[in-house]
Structure 1
Amino acid sequence: MRTELAIALPPGYRTEDVLAFHSRDAEAIAEQVGPEGLRKGVLLDGTPVVLEVGFKPDEARCTVDADGELTPPLLELAREALLNILGLRIDPAAFAAFVRDDPALGPVVARQPGLRIIQSATVFEALTWAIIGQQINLPFAISLRRTFIGLAGRRHTSGLWCYPEASDVARLELEALTSRKFSRAKAETLLRLARLVADGEVKLDRERPVADFVRELLAVKGIGPWTVNYALLRGYGYPDCSLEGDVAVRTAFHRLLGGEARPDIPTAQRLLERYAPHRTMAAAYLWASLSEQAG
């Protein structure tokens, strides 16, 4: 069943950032990106769904294509996923005003106005991607993600693979992952998390207090503060994630502020504190500053 909906886009919306984020996998098994739009496959409440987005100057024209009945609750899940993949959770204007006179990030924001945090379609996708990608290079992480989708996801009738939900991952055996280049620790953490979420012991409800989400995740063996903050950023669109443990954030501070060595984690935490309650956007612009320097 298919339905269409339109989502308004703010002035200055950076379509190119959305397309770049969702085109990281060159094999495009779960995301297909073209010059004017994208298609994203995801399992929502057990149903394979493809989200199609076409960009117009002031709105995103979206189609929700479900393999089955498109009930009102499923349509609401799809709409929430669309807000995520379009990066519409955090308005960057507040951060731009906050750092207008900041010597480190003020100039970066001035050069790149309107930067947004593009998110994964679901909180579970953000969490599992954080676990998959931690402490390995990006091409290898993308390859593992592709394997993960093939093992636990399902194909939509259109042929696009759909990113799995917790219940799909919970059914996997450890060897299914470790025999395909996942480290044992990474595989165990993915399965442990999926089973806790599937059993309702860890709840990924967006409406819950952030403190409850953080407490539950930190109690899961293999999940630390960096993973939790990344999930808050890419899953919830939480505006005040502190990513002092992120190597790229600390590298960006080093390049922007100078000094003999890259800041350690406690120093980076202190540097980020001055951007509260907008530390998520601070991380986004720190990452963007590295891309500027690379260019």
Structure 2
Amino acid sequence: MNEKVQLSQLSIPTPQDFSFAECLKHLMKPEQEWLYRVIDNSIYKLLKMDDELILFIIEWQPGNIIVKFPLTQPSTIQVKKVTTFISEWFDLEKDLRDFYELANNDPILRPIVQSYYGLRIVGIPHFFEAISWAIIGQQINLTFAYTLKKRLVEKYGESLEYEGNKYYVFPSLEIVASLTVEDLKLLQFSARKAEYIIGIAQLILQGKLSKDLVLKQKTFEQKHLFLTSIRGIGPWTADYVLMKSLQEPTAFPISDVGLHNALKKQLNLDRKPTMAELKELAMNWEGWQAYATFYLWRSL
């Protein structure tokens, strides 16, 4: 992907079927989100790279994402890291022509895709953050999940202030790995979730779990099995992480409540679809289950 630094500014070309407006609407929905801000149609995001906190602002010009660095001139390596992060965040490398062709021939997806055309899976490139967020959200409502995440980030994440707003990065592996279960219970984490998150941070630090190790698995099924072998990562969490952090288009969180509610609405059912019905529907989305799920979530 081409990039050019000019006076602390970076330009990243986007695919023709990319809608910044639709992705922005998705990012604006969770008002409790603490790891980025949307201000006047611009996205403010803080990353830590090479022991340095880098704040950047994402804006849109037709055909390009414009990235501005208001506080620092990034190094060439940092520019590449930011470019990779943004590409993964908005799934810019994915060719969606086959998905749109499939969706336009599917009675459930067709109206949704037409309404939100250009939306891409807005991911969580940071692997540990993606796993932690999936674990935090297990079996609790979304509002409380965001509350727990906010407490964790405020307590243990590094921060930087710019124009009166505070920006945070997700707590580092080293910090989380050094915590005790009691530390997280003070933030109202359950003992089990605290054990899972601390244990996973330790595994990643030990080199026993990483994006690369997952990606080295040859098939989707092997990647899924590798993740579910880790304590705290069940099938839904594995699918969520594969979908949101590893850009796996076949990931399908079949037990997801939001997916069930979206299909209930689209099919005008007086009940949620059964697992058998979900599996049958998903056969029509083969290869693109993650995108079908993401668009169905958006329909809610």
| Category of TM-score, reference length = shorter chain | 0.7 to 0.9
**Number of the residue aligned with 1:60:** 65
CA distance in structure 2 between the aligned counterparts of 1:104 and 1:27, rounded to whole angstroms = 31
2:188 pairs with 1:181: yes
- Structure 1 counterpart of 2:25: 20
Q: Where does residue 190 of structure 1 map in the other structure?
A: 197
Deviations 1:163-182 (A, max 9, x none): 23323321222212111111
The correspondence of residues 10-49 of structure 1 with structure 2, limited to 5 A, is 10-11=15-16, 13-24=18-29, 26=31, 29-44=34-49, 46-49=51-54
Residue identity matched to 2:238: V
**Which consecutive residues of structure 1, in runs of 5 or more, have no partner in the other structure?**
291-295
Aligned counterparts of 2:258 and 2:33: Cα–Cα separation in 1 = 26
Structure 1 match to 2:84 = 80
Name which of 132, 139, 149 aligns with 2:136.
Answer: 132
Distance change >3 Å, CA 266–CA 167, structure 1 → 2 = farther
Q: Which amino acid aligns with 2:267?
A: L
Which string of whole-angstrom CA distances, capped at 9 and with x for unpartnered residues, describes residues 36-89 of structure 1? 3111123345443323211112211113578898462x4433222111333424
Q: 1:279 aligns with which of 289, 292, 297?
A: 289
Counterpart of 1:99?
Answer: 103
Distance 1:170 1:246 in 2: 29
Quote how far apart the aligned CAs of 1:118 are.
0.7
Residue 152 of structure 1 corresponds to which residue in structure 2? 156
TM-score (norm 1): 0.86
Letter aligned with residue 128 of structure 2:
F
Q: Gapped runs of 5+ residues in structure 2?
A: 1-6
Q: What is the distance in 1 between the residues matched to 2:71 and 2:129?
A: 19
Question: Which SS does the other structure have where 1:288 is aligned?
Answer: helix
Which secondary structure state, in structure 1, belongs to the residue aligned with residue 147 of structure 2? Answer: helix
Q: Percent identity?
A: 26
Question: Contact 1:47 / 1:68 at 8 angstroms: preserved in 2?
Answer: no
Q: Conserved in 2, the CA contact under 8 Å of 1:47 and 1:67?
A: no
Check the 8 A contact 2:10/2:66 in 1, yes or no. yes
* d(CA) in 2 for partners of 1:255, 1:48: 43
SS across alignment from 1:99? helix
Query: In the alignment, residue 142 of structure 1 is paired with which amino acid?
Result: Y
Q: Distance in 2 between matches of 1:66 and 1:128?
A: 29
Q: 1:188 to 1:266 in 2, by over 3 A?
A: farther
Q: Tell me the residue number matched to 2:4.
A: none
Of residues 168, 171, 174, the one that matches 1:167 is 174
The alignment status of 1:111 with 2:115, answered yes or no, reads yes
Partner deviation per Cα, 1:102-138 (whole Å, 9 max, x = no partner): 1221222223222211112422222211111222222
1:233 is displaced (CA, Å) by 1.3
- CA deviation digits over 1:224-254, x for unaligned, max 9? 0111111111112211111211111122222
What is the match of residue 250 of structure 2? 240
Q: Distance in 1 between matches of 2:190 and 2:38?
A: 30
Equivalent AA in structure 2 for residue 208 of structure 1: K
More divergent stretch after superposition (45-54 vs 169-178)? 45-54
CA contact (8 A) 1:18 1:85 kept: no
Q: Which of 261, 264, 274 lines up with 2:274 in the alignment?
A: 264
2:127–2:210: 8 Å Cα contact kept in structure 1? no
Query: Of 50, 56, 62, which residue of structure 2 is paired with 1:51?
Result: 56
CA contact (8 A) 1:90 1:239 kept: no
Structure 2-normalised TM-score?
Answer: 0.85
1:289 aligns with 2:284: no
